[in-house]
Structure 1
Amino acid sequence: MSIKERLREAMDAKGLTIKALSDLSKIPYRSLQNYLRGEREPNAEALVALSTHLNISIDWLLTGKGEAAGVEKAQPANQEQHFNQSDLKLLELLNQLEPEVRKELLRGAEEKQRMIDMEKQLKELSAAFDRLKNTG
């Protein structure tokens, strides 16, 4: 499924027309039309607005992985998500890549996070083992 198809799915799940989403997100109507036709892909600011107003993750919109359309994000609705310039630049660069390259980068980032989590668990287990060894 492509970005345009996921965007349409998210809009349908919320019962939003292009005009309604345009009014809500402040994304120009014409831009939304272009996204839905597959003529353009959303830039970083548009991705943030779409994520916020459709309650979807940017990862899901870009790659189809992660939270699906219509699923509320874990973040409370009254709490805004803040992105710094570095975050927005990264999103802009990712948006310019081909979908397969984005998927590959996402898989690499997920693998890196799994390694970090495993290293943390290993350190915790090692510390627990040392404590047990020293008490016995």
Structure 2
Amino acid sequence: MDTLGLKAADIASKTKISERTITNFIWNDTPIGAQLLRELHAKYGISIDWLLSGSGSMLLGQTNEPAGTYDVTPSSDLRVQRMCTLVQELMSSASPDEQALLETHFKFSMRQYQQMLSTTNQE
């Protein structure tokens, strides 16, 4: 908020999330809700990775955060097919907030996913 010169009231008016809710996140040091994460990302260009972990660049213009759309290569391995089907079903039925949280979870809990992103310059 300091970096962008924002107050809770400014964020509330632009995100339609109550000022009280935003203030509670700040003063009670509670995790930011998924809706506010997406709104801060969409309205102010703040990296969801940064919001969740505090690491990396805060603003999207300073990072290469992936857009969230990936092609899945078909495989003859049944295990791979099942996993791809599950991920596709999860992503197709999830809200944008849930999609962002699922991807962020993959990024921070699976070293292989992070490596894949860095080798394809989508980090």
Bin the TM-score by the shorter chain.
0.5 to 0.7
Instruction: Identify the range of structure 1 (35-44 vs 56-65) with the bigger mean alpha-carbon deviation.
Output: 35-44
CA contact (8 A) 2:107 2:113 kept: no
Q: Gaps (5+ residues) in structure 2? A: 70-90
- In structure 1, stretches of 5+ residues that fail to align are 1-10, 76-80, 95-101, 121-136
Is residue 25 of structure 1 aligned with residue 25 of structure 2? no
Secondary structure of 2:30's partner? coil
Match of 2:61 among 72, 86, 97: 72
Supply the RMSD in Å over aligned alpha carbons. Answer: 3.9
Distance 1:67 1:23, change over 3 A: same
Cα distance, 1:41 vs structure 2: 2.2
Matched, 1:60 2:50: yes
* Corresponding residue pairs, total: 95
Q: Retained in 2: the 8 A contact 1:55–1:73?
A: no
What is the Cα deviation at residue 108 of structure 1? 3.2
Whose helix proportion is higher, 1 or 2? 1
Instruction: State the Cα distance separating 1:47 from its structure 2 match.
Output: 0.6
Larger radius of gyration: 1
Structure 1's 112 and 24: CA in aligned 2 closer, same or farther, altered over 3 A? same
Distance 1:65 1:85, change over 3 A: farther
TM-score, normalised to structure 2, is 0.55
Whole-angstrom distance in 2 between the partners of 1:118 and 1:72:
17
